[in-house]
Chain A
Amino acid sequence: MTISAFLTDATLCIGCKACEVACKEWNQVPADGFNFTGNSYDNTNALGASTWRHVMFLEQPKRLGTQITGTEDPFRWQFLSDVCKHCEHSGCLEACPTGAIVRTELESVFIQSDVCNGCGYCVVSCPFGVVEKNHEVGTAFKCTFCYDRQRDGLMPACAKTCPTRSIQFGDINDLRSRAHMRVQELRERGYGDARVYDPQETSVGGTHAMFVILGEPENYNLPPAPEVPTVHLRSAWMAAAISALVVVLVVCLAFAL
């Protein structure tokens, strides 16, 4: 089975939110609640237990490529559909004490809800803040990469529904090269700040959900250099070991005196 992945392209997104809704419909995820945020057209705020695809709306004092707008100062309105990154080395998976989070044969990262015990460690271990615990059910949830659909040879619901091919689904290597070609092309077309978001150089080692974005990743709340927490295991345990030794020493001294 080839390794499937997403390439989500901000420059092709029209912010229709069809992906967000299709995901909820297919996976029967409940609504987040009816909260008006005032954050442009975004009223679901972020990925979470009940939002596995999330469409962002960025109003920025910047120019979009060569676009001409009749606004007084430069202005652009950007959209991007965020999703679980299905990290090459994923914090949630490494953290999970029950083995509920597994890497599927599709190389995607999947939570088996029946195994999950709601310890919440994945929640603080995802460097992208994706996975979240649903407090009614008491277990953790996130994008399944439509494991069920993919098993039956179907495209993930979000990619399937996207009218503009902003969400592309396919073989990870194809998409990687396509992403870089796309950015090249966009640069030539005047989108000076186009870039690929796919943190490969950090310990995350790349994602199965890559993005073509404009400007800094921070603007999309994408961490610029995400790390898998477990890279810190050594230093943390080392510190713990030393402190423990000191404790032993102190105790021995205490009785020696």
Chain B
Amino acid sequence: MAANPRITEDQLEALKEEAARTGRVQSRGVEPAGIPSVKPASAASYHGNPVLKPPTWTWQVPLYFFVGGVAGVSSLIALAAHVAGNVRLVRVELWVGFIGALLSAPLLIADLGRPSRFLNMLRVFKPRSAMSLGAWTLSAFSSAVGLAFVCRELILAGFGNELFLIVEWLAEFLAAFTGLVLASYTSVLLGVSAIPVWSENRRLVPVVFLTGALGSAGAVLELCGFMIPATRFIGLAASTAEIGIAIMIEVRGRYVDRPLREGATGWLTRAGAILAGPVALLLRIFAGHNPAAGDLAAICFIAGALVARYAWVGAGRVSSRDPQALFRIQRS
């Protein structure tokens, strides 16, 4: 049963307590919207109850959004690096991608409850369901990046031959492609839903998630000791984008975006944006080539991107509880 935003059992318990202690209730008590009141019935919702159900996802899911994104973009970088001939970098990125892949499934399963439940999603392939597509993408990506990873390691271990190399190239191509899908489908997952703040930002969320993934992938590299122009460039680009996104949300000032600007989720969004945006950017620009500063920038960006994932999912939860958000969109 949907919890009424104004009247929860905890609230009532609190009232009980207070009443029991003091013999009467000082606080406002509970005031349901249903009691006839002067406000125009047209705008009124049913007792202020939520129309929609909040997302049920546990804390692992936003984390998965993040990890999947990093893993995905990392394998893209791996490919790019391979083309550019930076073999050391390829190896690290394949490691990152591979570890990301290994982490993703367990995170999802943690949300579902039982491992076997993940397999239910592989019963059918429903491209119209972002969730289904995502499940398949994750599987494909994991295999691809795994394969590339294995080949790479064998080659490095000296078992290398033509065949392995070709397979690795193919696998890297596949991993890069599916990696991109993996990094972006999660944004479509939110955008294509009934939750106002998500669906009204369906064009923005992909930008947010991919920027985050790109920047974080770069940052991870830097933390692995690759303070190279490429990562620096990626970092600068990503942070700039983050700033752009933040400004956009603030200036547009739409009612539906309130959860991104107000309350806990609002501050979370801002914190994420500030860390990944201005803070990381300034560190990079002003700290020049000081590696410590570079690392700090990287850490800030990763933190920012991670926080942003939680902020967006949280915002969805808040948005789902506000009937007016829904009504306004549908009435406009």
Q: Which residue of A lies closest to B84 (CB)?
A: A255
Q: Are A35 and B112 in contact (CB under 8 A)?
A: no
Residues on B with C-beta less than 8 A from A238 are: 203
CB within 8 Å of A: which B184-217 residues: 184-185, 187-189, 191-195, 198-199, 202-207, 210-211, 213-214
Complex A-B: 27 CB contacts under 8 Å: A33-B9, A37-B7, A40-B32, A42-B34, A45-B3, A94-B129, A96-B129, A98-B124, A99-B123, A117-B121, A119-B117, A119-B131, A121-B189, A124-B52, A124-B193, A129-B50, A130-B53, A132-B2, A138-B113, A215-B41, A223-B51, A230-B192, A233-B188, A235-B191, A248-B76, A251-B234, A255-B230
Q: Which of A59-67, A151-159, A181-189 contacts B (4 or more CB under 8 A)?
A: A59-67
Residues on A with C-beta less than 8 A from B38 are: 61
Q: Are A221 and B53 in contact (CB under 8 A)?
A: no
Q: A128-B51, A138-B113 are in contact. Are A243 and B206 (CB under 8 A)?
A: yes
Residue A48 CB within 8 A of the other chain? yes
Residues on B with C-beta less than 8 A from A99 are: 123-124, 126
Q: Which of B153-161, B263-271, B301-309, B319-327 contacts A (4 or more CB under 8 A)?
A: B319-327
Q: A95-B131, A254-B230 are in contact. Are A44 and B1 (CB under 8 A)?
A: yes
Q: Are A97 and B194 in contact (CB under 8 A)?
A: no
A-side interface size class: 35 or more
CB within 8 Å of B: which A221-257 residues: 221, 223-227, 229-230, 232-233, 235-241, 243-244, 246-248, 250-255, 257
Query: Which of B53, B205, B330, B331 is within 8 Å of A129, CB to CB?
Result: B53
Query: Which of B7, B36, B184, B203 is within 8 Å of A235, CB to CB?
Result: B203
Residue A127 CB within 8 A of the other chain? yes
Chain B, interface SS category:
helix
| Proximity bits, A28-47, B CB within 8 Å = 1, else 0 | 00001101111110101111
| Proximity bits, B69-88, A CB within 8 Å = 1, else 0 | 00001001100110110100
Residue A118 CB within 8 A of the other chain? yes
Q: Are B121 and A39 in contact (CB under 8 A)?
A: no
Residue A147 CB within 8 A of the other chain? no
Q: Are A224 and B214 in contact (CB under 8 A)?
A: no
CA distance A138 to B110 in the complex (A): 12
CA distance A121 to B51 in the complex (A): 16
Q: A232-B192, A254-B231 are in contact. Are A39 and B7 (CB under 8 A)?
A: yes
Residues on A with C-beta less than 8 A from B163 are: none
CB within 8 Å of A: which B214-241 residues: 214, 218, 229-231, 233-234, 237
Residues on A with C-beta less than 8 A from B113 are: 118, 138
Residue A216 CB within 8 A of the other chain? yes
CA distance A236 to B3 in the complex (A): 30
Q: Are B7 and A129 in contact (CB under 8 A)?
A: no
A189 to chain B, nearest CB (A): 20
A84 to chain B, nearest CB (A): 12
Residue A166 CB within 8 A of the other chain? no
Q: A46-B2, A218-B45 are in contact. Are A251 and B76 (CB under 8 A)?
A: yes
Q: Are A236 and B41 in contact (CB under 8 A)?
A: no
Q: Which residue of A lies closest to B203 (CB)?
A: A239
Q: A58-B46, A121-B129, A129-B2 are in contact. Are A251 and B207 (CB under 8 A)?
A: no
Residues on A with C-beta less than 8 A from B123 are: 98-99, 115
Q: Are B12 and A240 in contact (CB under 8 A)?
A: no
B205 to chain A, nearest CB (A): 8
Query: Which of A219, A224, A251, A257 is within 8 Å of B229, CB to CB?
Result: A257
Q: Are B234 and A46 in contact (CB under 8 A)?
A: no
Residue B143 CB within 8 A of the other chain? no
Q: Are A59 and B34 in contact (CB under 8 A)?
A: yes
Q: Are A97 and B132 in contact (CB under 8 A)?
A: yes
